[in-house]
Structure 1
Amino acid sequence: MLINRSELLDVVYRFYPRGVHKTDRIHVPPNKPVYKDTEEHRRLVEAASRGRAEYPTWKAMIRRLGDRYSLQNESLHILAGWVDPAYSARIYRPKDVEPVPSLSNRASLSFHVSLLGPYYGIHDRGEPDEVPSAVAAEIDATYPGYRPIPPELGNEVVPDVDMDGVSMGKATIYMCLFSIVWTWVDPL
């Protein structure tokens, strides 16, 4: 089944209030909405709570992938009660492939499994290897029914959403469903 823009925006707006800046009450005039008081934020908190409860599934998948690749789990803070919309991890590849590989690595692929809906994303620098398809196969086996969000939809800006680390009008669908961690893969 194909994913469409409308479906993804419906999910985003279920968890992020439109037009409400993410700021503390002391900075908002009386009787104005505050982000943390919204129904959407309550749903986001509940989704993160489910993420904590289902963390062993993520951890097992990360272990399997970590046996094959140099991997960093970016989701441990969920266990500490932080509110995040997804599980996230990064895979590190060698900086230099030819002629002699360097000892230092760089994050060149990140992957995310949303806690807000049956979606995942793989943010890859495009190295020609088996890593993206191996990660996708592992996600598909661990989270049956989850679908990847295509870049032409995921990179679309959601103009009326404010979120941690991203001001109003700058967040993309990928950021809303996978968090700001989506942007953490090293540039070329």
Structure 2
Amino acid sequence: MLINRSELLDVVYRFYPRGVHKTDRIQVPPNEPVYDDTEEHRRLVEAGSRGRAEYPTWKAMTRRLRSRFRLQDESLHLLAGGGDPAYSARIYRPKDLEPVPSLSSRASLSFHVSLLAPYYGIHDRGGPDEIPAAVAAEIEATYPGYRRIPPELGNEVVPDVDMDGVSMGKATIYMCLFSVVWTWVDPA
């Protein structure tokens, strides 16, 4: 079954309020909507709670992948009570371990499993090898029914959503469903 733009935006708007800036109450005039008080934010917080409860499934999957690849789990913020919308991890290929200017550019593949809807993403900037297919197969075996979001849809900007670390008009569908952790590995 194909994924379409409308379907993805419906999910985004279920968890992120349209046109509401993510600011503290003290910075908003009285009677103005505050992001943290919205129904959408409440749903996002509930998704994070479910993610913490279901973390053993993710941990078992990353353990299987770690037996084959150099893997770093990026979901620890979620475990600490954060409101991340997805589980995230990075895989380092041998060439990634050579000295480079910044740590964030070392990993050549990241992958994410959304807590908001049955989607996943693989962000790859490495050379052709079996890693992306192996990760996809592992995700689909662990999370039956989950589908990969194609880049032509995931990279689309959601113009009326503000989220942690990303201002209004800059967040993409990928960022909304997988968090700003999505941006930590730039594609080739």
Q: TM-score range by the shorter chain?
A: over 0.9
Structure 1 residue 174 corresponds to structure 2 residue 146: no
- Contact map agreement 2:123 2:186 (CA 8 A) in 1: no
Q: Which residue of 2 aligns with 1:120?
A: 120
Check if 1:31 corresponds to 2:28: no
Which residue of structure 2 aligns with residue 57 of structure 1? Answer: 57
Residue 15 of structure 2 corresponds to 15
Distance in 1 between residues matched to 2:155 and 2:184, nearest whole Å: 15
Identity of aligned residues (%): 86
The TM-score, its normalising length taken from structure 2, stands at 0.94
State the alpha-carbon separation in 2 of the partners of residues 38 and 107 from structure 1.
Answer: 36
The answer to whether residue 148 in structure 2 is matched with residue 148 in structure 1 is yes
Residue identity matched to 1:78: L
Secondary structure, in 3 states, of the residue corresponding to 2:90?
strand
Between the aligned partners of 2:93 and 2:114, the Cα distance in structure 1 is 24
1:108 maps to 108
Deviations 1:15-51 (A, max 9, x none): 0000000000000000000000000000000000000
The answer (yes or no) to whether the contact 2:88–2:112 under 8 Å persists in 1 is yes
Question: Which amino acid letter does the alignment assign opposite residue 18 of structure 1?
Answer: R
Q: Which runs of 4+ in 1 moved over 4 A?
A: 101-105
Distance (whole Å) between structure 1 residues aligned to residue 70 and residue 64 of structure 2: 11
**SS of equivalent residue, structure 2 residue 165:** coil
User: Counterparts of 2:24 and 2:44 in 1: how far apart (Å)?
Assistant: 17
Q: C-alpha displacement at 1:68, in angstroms?
A: 0.6
8 Å contact from structure 1 (residues 109, 122) kept in 2: yes
Superimposed CA distance per residue, residues 112-154 of structure 1 (whole angstroms, 9 cap, x where no aligned partner): 0000000000000141100000000000000000000000000
Name the residue aligned to 2:130: 130
- CA distance in structure 2 between the aligned counterparts of 1:136 and 1:86, rounded to whole angstroms: 16
Larger helix percent: 2
Structure 1 alignment gaps of length 5 or more = none
Deviation, structure 1 residue 160? 0.2
The 3 A distance-change label for structure 1 pair 187 and 139 is: closer
Unaligned runs of 5+ in 2: none
Give how far 1:102 is off: 4.4
Q: 1:30 to 1:142 in 2, by over 3 A?
A: same
Distance in 2 (alpha carbons) for counterparts of 1:126 and 1:92: 9
Cα distance, 1:102–1:164 mapped onto 2, change above 3 Å: closer
Question: Partners of 2:158 and 2:99 in 1: how far apart?
Answer: 40
- Alignment: residue pair count: 184
Question: How large is the Cα RMSD of the aligned pairs?
Answer: 1.6
Q: Determine the C-alpha separation between the residues in 2 that align with 1:185 and 1:172.
A: 15
